[in-house]
């Protein structure tokens, strides 16, 4: 069982606002299937309950075309973009498992900063450019890893942002789950290594989202 929390501070309550919203949602269409972390999951194609997620995706897709020419730019500037692209190019020819390991390691080097300090609001989902400029908290690490893998050619159908309850720390937390060869691997700012979801016992999944759908996770 993995319980490595030494690398990052615990996720503050900012994520809980989203969790509370989802707990009040109906399960919706679909039948339960075996899912992440030993849960049963029910898929729903309606992403309207997740404006932060759909909003950050829209900003991510627009961000790349507006990279500033100055390294002093307050937004996603040429230096940040160049370092990110240099890293991605260095792993572009690597095997898929190595890409997952390196993306997780690269983004985990960034400092953890809570949203009230960083953005002056309780909960904010940052683009990869904003994360590289100002760092961020748990969902920002997950989003940055998601976008990095998209840039490396990974299919969005194989990736989900997952909101979990950390049963050890008793806080909500966000991670990235990636499917590779039929197995779900977890990229987590609190765990330095790449691990299979089945090896992590202290996370209870609440919901997960992709670009096309979301999943409600229910106990078996």
Q: Take residue 200 and report the two structure tokens written for it.
A: 């992590």
Segment (H or E) for 55? helix 51-63
Kindly indicate whether the domain formed by 13-218 is annotated with CATH number 3.10.620.30: yes
CA–CA dist 108, 138 (Å, integer): 10
- Residue pair 5/173 in contact by the 8 Å Cβ criterion: no
Q: Take residue 41 and report the two structure tokens written for it.
A: 């999951």
Phi, psi of 39 (to 5 degrees): -90, 170
In 3-state terms, what secondary structure has residue 81?
helix
Residue listed under structure tokens 């209870």: 204
Q: Where are the domains of the chain?
A: 13-218
pTM summary value: 0.87
pLDDT tens, residue by residue, 132-188: 989 999 999 999 999 999 999 999 999 999 999 999 999 999 999 999 999 999 999
Residues of the chain predicted below pLDDT 50: 1-14, 16-18, 20, 23, 26
CA–CA dist 144, 148 (Å, integer): 6
């Amino acid at each position: 069982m993995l319980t490595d929390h030494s690398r990052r501070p615990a996720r503050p309550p900012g994520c809980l606002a989203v969790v509370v919203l989802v707990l009040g949602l109906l399960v919706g269409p679909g039948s339960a299937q075996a899912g992440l972390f030993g849960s049963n999951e029910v898929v729903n194609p309606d992403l309207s309950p997740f404006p932060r997620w759909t909003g950050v995706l829209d900003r991510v897709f627009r961000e790349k075309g507006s990279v500033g020419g100055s390294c002093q730019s307050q937004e996603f500037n040429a230096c940040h973009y160049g370092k990110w692209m240099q890293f991605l190019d260095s792993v572009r020819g690597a095997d898929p498992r190595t890409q997952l390991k390196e993306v997780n390691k690269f983004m985990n080097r960034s400092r953890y900063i809570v949203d009230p300090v960083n953005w002056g609001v309780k909960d904010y989902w940052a683009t990869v450019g904003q994360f590289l400029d100002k760092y961020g908290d748990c969902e920002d690490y997950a989003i940055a890893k998601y976008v990095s893998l998209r840039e490396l050619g990974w299919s969005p159908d194989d990736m989900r942002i997952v909101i979990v309850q950390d049963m050890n720390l008793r806080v909500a937390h966000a991670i990235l789950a990636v499917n590779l060869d039929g197995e779900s691997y977890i990229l987590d700012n609190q765990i330095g290594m790449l691990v299979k979801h089945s090896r992590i016992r202290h996370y209870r999944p609440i919901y997960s989202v992709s670009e096309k759908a979301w999943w409600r996770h229910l106990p078996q």
